[in-house]
Structure 1
Amino acid sequence: MPATPTTPLPPTWFVRGGWWFVVHVGSLGILAAVPFTHAAVRSRRIGHAVLAGVVLVMTMLAFLLVGTAEHDAAGHVVGFAAHLGGTLFGLILLAGLVGLVVVRAQVYDPRPPRPPARAIQPAHARALAARARRDEARRLVVADPLLARELRIGRPDLAPKYDDGGLVDLNAAPARVVAAVCGIDPVQAVRIVQARQAAGRFAAVDDVFAWADLPIGLWDQVRDRAVVL
């Protein structure tokens, strides 16, 4: 009878860097360089190797300070070197705990790399830039209509002095220009001009839809390119 395949158990917390904390706290920070060195070997990161080296140097320096410190009559180490060495041991213990938390996350729970940003194609970039210029031109029409007329916004047939991103003035442009800029059938453009003559002028772009009876499918297309002055 074939053996039933078994699913291997996932690694425990202890195996996934948990033993680092046991070694670090159990040795009161004296063996702090051991887990940091293991992290550097496992991750192969220069930063982890440098950190392990710094911890090792600090530990050796603390031992050197305590070992060369003066002793009192009872045999206890005293003096500035002793206090500095003890402080260094405490710093290794506390800062090492924080460092192990950060390094463990980097070694055993690394964040997935960000997907590379998709480059915007030139045609896409030009279309977005033109849309931004149209929005800017519309704001200028509202804020200063006289200047907008002087700059010939919406009048590509009059050699405009301002790049409006591709707008057409429904109150002044001829039918052929309306058709070309809005991308609509010339018959529908003629209908817009006839509606303009009947209405006198359009107060807003949306007025053309009521007067010219354009198909609703063209409304957004006309809105994107139309302006009224």
Structure 2
Amino acid sequence: MSKVDAPGRGAMWWVLVPFFSVGLLAAVPFGWLSGRVRRVRNIVIAALYAAAAVLALVFIPEDEAAADNWAVVMAACVWILGTAHTAVAMSALRRGDAGQERSVGQVNREVLRAAMEREELRRKARGLLVEHPVAAAEMRIGRPDLPRTYDDGGLVDVNTVPADVLVRHLGWSAEQAEEVVAVRERLGRFADGKELIAFTQLPPTRVDAARAVLVFSARLGVGA
């Protein structure tokens, strides 16, 4: 997949090529387009227009009055269709519909940047939970089930959220989530992931997979 940066306004000038050449050069814009947006489709289109132009030149009779000749009709179609087709293709390129393809490397960089930004949000939110627990409670850190405006990066407070949040956000089964809530009510709170594993039937792999977003508030009811 190739990368095409911000199609320029000059692309629309290619519409004049098939128009003023009476369709004979209808292949040229698509030849240029195949180099800018590397798609087999554009190469095929260019080849078809080129073949049609050659056939028209070879078989159009010298008698200009023979307007019903198939080659004349084909030449007229290539002229009209080629001009319209070029206008549509270049307009799409200009909008970015056909031309702005992101490379795999660019997509990967964007995904990595987004993941790092989420990780930084979680780091700051964890710091607030430790250093300013009251403010963290008011900001409802780790409480995706409650209305809030602060973005904590997707943290989930195991000591406060209802069972359905554990299911939706962590992918735990309903039975596992209900057990966690029941044990939490009996113990008062979980201190960390080790206690979560020790006092419930949750597989360690499930807890480890969720460690990036798990937090354990200082007391039951934080953020309620």
Question: TM-score with structure 1 length normalisation?
Answer: 0.46
Question: TM-score with structure 2 length normalisation?
Answer: 0.47
Larger Rg: 1
Q: Which one has more relative contact order, counting CA pairs under 8 Å at least 6 apart? A: 2
